[in-house]
Each structure stands twice: as structure tokens, then as C-alpha cells.
Structure 1
Amino acid sequence: MASPTDQKFALPTLTAMVVGSMVGAGIFSLPQTFGRVTGGLGALIAWTIAGGGMLMLAFVFQTLSRRKPELDAGVYAYAKAGFGNYPGFLSALGYWTVCCLGNVSYWVLIKSTLGALFPVFGDGNTVAAVAVSSLGVWAVHFMILRGVRQAAALNTIVTVAKIIPILIFLVFVGFGFQADIFAANFQGGPGLETEGLFAQVRGTMLVTVFVFVGIEGASVYSRYARKRSDVGVATLLGFLGVLCLLVLVTMLSYGVLLRPDLAALRNPSMAGVLQAVVGPWGAVFVSVGLIISVLGAYLSWSLLAAEVLFSAARMESMPAFLAAENRAKVPSAALWLTNSLVQTFLILTLFAEQAFLAAVKLTSSMILLPYLLVAAYALKLAWSGETYDETPRGRRGDLVRALLATVYAAWLIFAGGLKFLLLSLVIYAPGTALFVIAQKERGHPVFTPAEAFLFAAAMAGAVVAIYGLAAGYIYV
């Protein structure tokens, strides 16, 4: 049986991991999610900011893959190397939770899509929807247990299959584009007269983060890369391709329906846009494409989630049992824990009125800390000169890009708002129990003084969030 290091991925497979992770539920909901908060001008500014910020982050992953080739677990490994055990653990926990929440959002959207034909599924958060989604969770679970390489190969096939419907959507909507409708939507139109441009742009930020989550897919799987240089190339290729798709889907939709009509569309809102151009078959076509896309993204994120827990356990920041593998060299213990959490979150969607939107925003909020730590680590390397002694060329450019990526990630935490930051602490604080177990079973001190302060702050924020939820000040 091949070992993990024998299961090598070439550049196309790594690129497919990035694209497959990024293109999921979010792109199919862009017309409605953008239409709710902004017009064409705000959307252009939002994509310029998000595209520029995420491009800097893509450059950061490329730089770190070249400067620190020995760190082969991406997001988590960089945070630990730069800032210590507990921040590294928080990055791993946050990223793992993002994977789980993202997978929940995928099942909610699939069932919401089917709900248009089968009312028993409602908006994806009915008892029937959760029951069928649960069957899907465990079916994919047992498929992955058969081998990572086989799952990655299937992911490549599904990635190609799900891009085709999006490209066909762009062709038809491009022909149906009406300049007068786009002009009416450009400033926002009715309903947004009192919303300033800054508020409109800020309202899109968590959505733009959600659709870019997965940019680090090749980095997380760098231990499988046939060539280390392919990791950075795959990250940039995947990012640029997906960015073009996201911008085109958003902006062309503003030329088909007026903004209030976009805002009122049922998700997946791309279906409503295409239906307005070609008739009812367009909605069916997009819905089928969405199901293929989301199942592919679900597969990618299931692989990523288990890999993060497994790598963190190997680096002694998660309990040792999570480093267990089965005969197919799949991190089986990590996969079982991952899908158990996904199952728990699915049950909780029964109590959320807008389950998909809540999952999107909480996912986006949880990923911000891992991204901030990665960018800050690249900034630390460039500032201190570590790894630049023998190859100093490009240090200034790396410093500028890392600084911009750090500022962007920090600004996103502000733009996301206090509510979702506090809700993320409800996961970070109790999740620290895994870190405590890992430290004690290896005989290490649990916290340094600085880490103890960080944990106390997280606990205080979690208490505030729980009180806010109970008192009705915070709602999901």
C-alpha cells in the first residue's frame, strides 16, 4: 500500500484542488447576496478590494511555499511556526471548523434547490432535508475512507464538470445583458437610497471571503505535491480563474434583472437570472450544475478538513489519536471527528431561519484568524530577513505583499462585525479542550503566560456571545 508521500499530485491536480475548494455554493448565490446589499458600483469596488486582498494572500502562500518548504500543512503550520503552539492550534481549529461549516452550507443549499421541486425540503433546513443530507454525509465519508488518491482523482473530474455549467450560464446571460438595466442598477436603485457606498461595500465583505475560501487548498496538501514549486503556481492559477468567474457572474446579473428583483430571488439565485433570459429550463440547468458543483466542493472540503486535523496531530497540537490512519493511508480518526461535527451542525440548522446565510457568515468569520496569522507570518519573515540571507532578491516585494495581505485580513475582521467575531469565539474557546488534551498527553505545559491571556480573552468573548444569544441580543 502506498504511503502518503507516494501519492503525489501533479500541477493540474493541485490546481483542481484549489478550484474545487473555491467553486462551491457561493458562486451560485452571488446575484441574490450582492443584490440584497449593493448595486453595480458597490459590487465593482467590493470585487476590486476582495480580489486585490486575496491576490496578496495568494502571493503570500506562494512565497511561503518557496521560503518554508519544510512546512507541509499550510495554514496551520505557518501559524504555529510564526506565533507558537496555541495560536497555531487556533488556526487549525478555525480552519477545520470552516471546512465543517462550509460543508453544512453545501447540504443546505442542495436541499434548498431541491425544495423548489419537493416542498418537503423547504429552504434546506427541514427535518426531511437534514435526514437526507445526513445520508449524504456518511456516504461520502465511507468513500473517502477507501483512499485519498482516489478521492482527489474524482475531485478533478467533478471540478471540470462543474465549471462547464457556469461557463454556459455566462454565455447566455452575456447575450441577454441589457445596458439600461445595468445602468439602473449601477448606483443601487430603489431601497438603497439611504445606504452609503461604504456601507454597501462593507455588506459584501463576508460573502466575498466565503467564495474565496479554499485558496489555500494546494498549500494544505503540499505534502502530496510532486514538485514544491507547483503549490504556489496552482494557488495563483486557481485564484485568477475563479476570480474571473465570480466577477462575471455578479456583474452580468446586474444587466438582466433590477436589483430589488435580484435580492428577492430564491437561492441558488443564478437559476432565477438564467430563467429570466432563456425561460424555465435555465433554472433547471443551473440547479443541476449547482448540485454537481456543491458535491464536488463538499468532497474537497472533507479531504481538507481531515488533512488539517491529521497534520496538527502529527505536529503535536491536536490529540494523538487524530494522527491515526487506516490501511488506505486515510486519516480516518480525523475524518470521523470531522463528519461528526458536520452532523451536529446539520441538526442545528433546524433552529436557524436563514441557515445558509448564517453558515456563510460564520464560515467567513472563522477563516479570518487563520488567514491573518498566515499573512502576519509572511510579514514577519520578510521584516526580519529570515530565509533571505542567501536569496535576498524579492524581499522588498514580499514585504509589501505580506503587509497588504495582513491589513486586508485585519480589515475583514472589522468589516465582518462584532456579532460573528463573538460567535466564532463560542467555537474557539471550548475547542481549546483539544489543545489541553494534546499538551497534557505529551507532558508539555499547557499555556505560556501570553497564551493563557489569549485563552482568557477568548473565554470572555464566548461568555458574552452566549449571554447575547440567550438574551436575544445576538441571533443567527
Structure 2
Amino acid sequence: MNQNQNDKTLGVLPLAMFAVGTTLASGVFSLSGDFAAGGAYTLATLIGWAICGIGMFGLTMCFFKLSVVKKDLTSGIYTYARTGFGEYIGFNSAWGYWMSAILAQLAFITLFFETLSNYSGVFGNGTNLFSCVLASIIIWGLSLLVLRGVNQAVIVNVVIVIAKIVPILAVVAAIVLGGAFSWDVFTQNFAGTGEMSLLEQVKSTVYVTVWIFIGIEGAVVISGRGKTTKISGQATIISFASLFILYFLISFLSMGVLPAEELAALANPSLGGVLEYVVGPWGAALVHIALLISVGGAMFSYTILCVDSAFGPSAYGAFPELLSRKNKCGAPTWSVIASTLIIQFFIVVIYFNDATFQMCYALSTSAIMVPYVFSAFYYFKVVCKGEDKEIEGNSRFIPWLIAILGSVYGVWLLYASGLTYIFAMTILYAPGTIMYLYHRKKSGQKYFDNTRDMIICIILVLLAVIAVVLTAKGTIVWF
């Protein structure tokens, strides 16, 4: 995407705030209960955090290094996969990132209205008719706001991020200063009860840890709007360090307040139940308010991210040209409309399937794993070829370490996902192939640049067909 120089106005703070805004959303309020509900006890959770901390940091550093070494690749996720592995894989990376952002909106919607249902039965379980109608109005309203100018929306996001961080820090302070943390509770059934192996427990933490960090690359994705690409990478690292410390504190402290069995039984958002146990009913109310601010802000940020995730590939020629057309305010009109229409479609889907917050974010996480993995693989390829030597000089240890950490973590994510969510990925990705083939034909290009891409496409479609059949038989249940 060729950015006008006048668009390059954002510094480290606004970009870091954008990354935090797209990352610090619903996950921090539910992670303690979700870990426990997945079967992970204290030891497995700590191991999961160690893997996440090392692996996700490696992945984040891959984004940072690529933003410095490949300064011309200003649309991040898509351009990394495309440059490293060709048009079809690049397209799928872009499509997956777009779908992940859209599905994240669905997760935010379900949790937002489920939280409101604590105060009024009119919202039902968060996906009843009233909630879905109201969600539709909000989504279209946010889209109209973004149509007035994406940069203005990013700056406004700084205020929203500050408003939601303060209550979360208050939660940490209440647990620590209130003396509610108990070492006996923390070590109770430390390695589990024997119903699940330690490995299975650790694997169960993957979707939670990836979900809570989705958006960490946000500053790189909109790096074309930063003053420099290097600034975007720095913003990503700052946001990662801040978020990891906050997430770990919440998880660690919660495990010392209530045992795993009780954490697993807490209603969404589970952090509200933890704080209610510490300080009483007003604690739950405080968490609910913070969550509504946080998720409301995240829906705002993700409206921008959905649009950017369609606009960037279109500007580079991977998506139809229509999606890169801008209005008089400089906003990509059809990217906004297309993203909102797809979100609207999924709102209808969750209404008829009575979807849960956890299932929506699991699908969003499934969609983003491929873009993450290929970004790490591309940096590994860059290091192997020595394309970073002009920047890194003769120092090779750090680049190799980062490349290996990011790539190994990517493989771990795919392994830990399990067969069910591999099938979920194929159902999410296969429809994109229709747009890919249509666009290639309309632009007068060959459908596939090589035999490898054609084989990948055939395998993807076949797996998607199998997944649809298994879903129809009830073997696989998504919602």
C-alpha cells in the first residue's frame, strides 16, 4: 500500500496504544476461569505462561525485526507471507487475518451483552434477538465513524485504552493489598487430579494465551501510518511487555484466591467472580464496568483493524481493487462496507446457534494462527538467506534465536490446536479461495503461479468438504 506522506503522522505512543487497544479487550477478564475450565491446574497454567512468554515474545520480535529489515513491507501480516511464500499463501494469510478480526468482533459482542445480562434479563445469554439487533446497530454505527477517517479513530483509541487500564490495575491492587492471595489455595492440586495428563492440560492453555495476545501485531499491521516503520516495531514490543506482565499477574493472583474447580465454575467474566470473593458485590460491578469499557473500545479498534485487513491486500493487488477505493475523507469505503456485512452475517449465525464467547474466540484464534506462523517462517527465511545482514551486521546469534523461537512456537500452536480446530481453519479459509480465483481471472492472471499452490488449494478444499460433512453429521460442533 503506497501511503501518502501526510498519512505518516503516528508516533510510538498512539501505535502502542492501538496495539494495546486491540489486544487488551475481553481476555484479561476471563482468562483465569477459561484456563481452569479447560482443565489446566496451577502447574500446567504456569508452564503455559512460560511457553507463551517465550514463544509469543519470539513471534513479536519477528514482527519487530521484519519491520526494520523489510521497511517496504508496510502491511505486515499479508506482505510477509506473500513475499516469502508466494501469492496464494499470501492471500490466505491476508484472508485469515481478516476473518480473525471479524470473528473477534463476534466474541466481543457475545461477552459484552452477556455481561449486561447480569443487570437485565432482556439481554438473555448475550446472543438473543434483542442483543443481536442492538449489536448490529452498534457495529454499523462504528463503521460510519470509521468512514469519517481512520487516523482520527486511532487517536481517539488512546483515551479508551487509558480508561480501561485503570480499573484493571485496581483489581490487582485489591487482591494484593487485601491479602486475599493464599499459597495453600495456589498449590492445591498443583499438578491436577489425574483426569488429564500434564501435556493435555498445557495444550488446553494455547487458545486462551493466543486469544489474549491477538492484536499485538496491530501497530505493525497499520505501520504505513506510523512516522517510521521502526517506530511501529518498537510500539509492538512495548505493548507486548506491558500486556504480558498484566495478564500474568491477573492469572497468578486469581489462582491464589480460588481453587481451580471454583474458578472453572465462575460465570463470564470470571475476574468479576474473583474480585467479588475478595471485596464483595461491588468488586464484580467494577469488573463489569471495566469490561464494558474495554470490550466497547476493542470493538471500536477492531472496526479499524477489519477495514485495514481488507484494504491493505487490496491496495497490493491480492484482494479486488474495489476494496481499496477511498472516499473524500480518505477512508476505504468498500472495505468498511464489506467487513460490516460479513460481521452482520455472523451476528445472524450466532443468534441461530446460541454461540458462546469462548467458541467465538476459539474460531478467531484458529483463523489467525496461519498468518502468525507464516510471518515467523518468513523471518526465519530472511535470516537463513542473510537478507538482514545489512541491518544486523555480523551479529547472527540474536537473529537466529528470534527466528527459531518464533518458528518453533508457530509449530507448537498448530500441534496444540488439535484436529477439530484444524478443520475449523479449513472451513474459514476455503471460501476465500473463491474470491482469490475470481480476482485472478478478472485481473488476467493465471489461477496459480506454481503447482505447489494448486496442490495446497486442492487439499484445503477437500479438508473443508470433509469438515462440512462432519459438521452436518454432528461429529464436529462449532457453537
TM range (shorter): over 0.9
Between the aligned partners of 1:185 and 1:239, the Cα distance in structure 2 is: 31
5 Å-filtered alignment, 1:7-46, equals 7=7, 8-36=9-37, 37-46=39-48
The answer on whether the counterparts of 2:148 and 2:331 sit within 8 Å (CA) in structure 1 is yes
Map Cα deviations across residues 294-324 of structure 1 (whole Å, 9 max, x no partner). 1111121111111121110111110110111
**CA-CA distance at 1:389 after TM superposition:** 4.9
Aligned position for 1:77: 79
**CA-CA distance at 1:328 after TM superposition:** 0.9
**CA-CA distance at 1:207 after TM superposition:** 1.1
SS of equivalent to 2:389: coil
Between the aligned partners of 1:400 and 1:19, the Cα distance in structure 2 is: 26
SS of equivalent to 1:186: coil
TM-score normalised according to structure 1 size = 0.96
The answer on whether the counterparts of 1:309 and 1:334 sit within 8 Å (CA) in structure 2 is yes
User: Any unmatched runs of 5+ in structure 1?
Assistant: none
Q: Does 1:427 align with 2:428?
A: yes
Q: Which one of 47, 50, 53 corresponds to residue 51 of structure 1?
A: 53
Between the aligned partners of 1:368 and 1:108, the Cα distance in structure 2 is: 22
Between the aligned partners of 2:239 and 2:52, the Cα distance in structure 1 is: 15
Between the aligned partners of 2:333 and 2:397, the Cα distance in structure 1 is: 43
The answer on whether the counterparts of 2:440 and 2:447 sit within 8 Å (CA) in structure 1 is yes
Q: Does 1:201 align with 2:202?
A: yes
TM-score normalised according to structure 2 size = 0.96
Between the aligned partners of 2:356 and 2:466, the Cα distance in structure 1 is: 22
Aligned position for 1:160: 162
The answer on whether the counterparts of 2:19 and 2:219 sit within 8 Å (CA) in structure 1 is yes
SS of equivalent to 2:330: coil
5 Å-filtered alignment, 1:9-408, equals 9-36=10-37, 37-174=39-176, 175=178, 176-184=180-188, 186-188=190-192, 192-389=193-390, 391-408=392-409
Distance 1:77 1:390, change over 3 A: closer
Distance 1:345 1:71, change over 3 A: same
Higher alpha-carbon deviation: 3-12 or 112-121 = 3-12
**CA-CA distance at 1:438 after TM superposition:** 2.0
Aligned position for 1:6: 6
Between the aligned partners of 1:118 and 1:466, the Cα distance in structure 2 is: 37
CA RMSD of aligned residues (A): 1.4
Aligned position for 1:460: 462
SS of equivalent to 1:326: coil
The answer on whether the counterparts of 1:26 and 1:210 sit within 8 Å (CA) in structure 2 is yes
**CA-CA distance at 1:260 after TM superposition:** 1.1
**CA-CA distance at 1:395 after TM superposition:** 3.1
Distance 1:76 1:390, change over 3 A: closer
Amino acid at match of 1:102: A
Map Cα deviations across residues 43-98 of structure 1 (whole Å, 9 max, x no partner). 11101001110000111011101100000000001110000111010000000000
Between the aligned partners of 1:94 and 1:415, the Cα distance in structure 2 is: 19
May I ask how many residue pairs the two structures share in their alignment?
Answer: 471
Distance 1:109 1:445, change over 3 A: same
SS of equivalent to 2:209: helix
Aligned structure 1 segments of 4 or more residues deviating by more than 6 angstroms: none
The answer on whether the counterparts of 1:219 and 1:231 sit within 8 Å (CA) in structure 2 is yes
Between the aligned partners of 2:355 and 2:341, the Cα distance in structure 1 is: 22
Amino acid at match of 2:78: Y
Between the aligned partners of 1:201 and 1:408, the Cα distance in structure 2 is: 14
Between the aligned partners of 1:423 and 1:411, the Cα distance in structure 2 is: 17
SS of equivalent to 2:188: helix
**CA-CA distance at 1:115 after TM superposition:** 0.9
Distance 1:230 1:246, change over 3 A: same
The answer on whether the counterparts of 2:74 and 2:229 sit within 8 Å (CA) in structure 1 is no
Between the aligned partners of 2:4 and 2:221, the Cα distance in structure 1 is: 14
SS of equivalent to 1:62: helix
**CA-CA distance at 1:125 after TM superposition:** 1.4
The answer on whether the counterparts of 2:128 and 2:354 sit within 8 Å (CA) in structure 1 is no
Between the aligned partners of 1:265 and 1:449, the Cα distance in structure 2 is: 51
The answer on whether the counterparts of 1:56 and 1:401 sit within 8 Å (CA) in structure 2 is yes
**CA-CA distance at 1:185 after TM superposition:** 5.1
**CA-CA distance at 1:354 after TM superposition:** 4.5
Map Cα deviations across residues 328-386 of structure 1 (whole Å, 9 max, x no partner). 11112111111111111111112434521111111111111001110000000100112
The answer on whether the counterparts of 2:160 and 2:297 sit within 8 Å (CA) in structure 1 is yes
Amino acid at match of 2:383: A
Distance 1:427 1:305, change over 3 A: same
Distance 1:351 1:367, change over 3 A: same
Between the aligned partners of 2:431 and 2:140, the Cα distance in structure 1 is: 26
User: Any unmatched runs of 5+ in structure 2?
Assistant: none
Amino acid at match of 1:456: I
The answer on whether the counterparts of 2:16 and 2:219 sit within 8 Å (CA) in structure 1 is yes
The answer on whether the counterparts of 2:69 and 2:391 sit within 8 Å (CA) in structure 1 is no
Amino acid at match of 1:277: V
Amino acid at match of 1:39: Y
Map Cα deviations across residues 411-468 of structure 1 (whole Å, 9 max, x no partner). 1111011111111211211211221222122211111321111110100110011001
The answer on whether the counterparts of 1:382 and 1:396 sit within 8 Å (CA) in structure 2 is no
Amino acid at match of 2:202: V
Between the aligned partners of 1:444 and 1:460, the Cα distance in structure 2 is: 24
Higher alpha-carbon deviation: 117-126 or 130-139 = 117-126
Amino acid at match of 2:18: M
Between the aligned partners of 1:391 and 1:282, the Cα distance in structure 2 is: 49
**CA-CA distance at 1:186 after TM superposition:** 2.9
Amino acid at match of 2:343: V
Between the aligned partners of 2:156 and 2:366, the Cα distance in structure 1 is: 30
**CA-CA distance at 1:183 after TM superposition:** 2.2
Between the aligned partners of 1:300 and 1:469, the Cα distance in structure 2 is: 32
Between the aligned partners of 1:394 and 1:45, the Cα distance in structure 2 is: 31
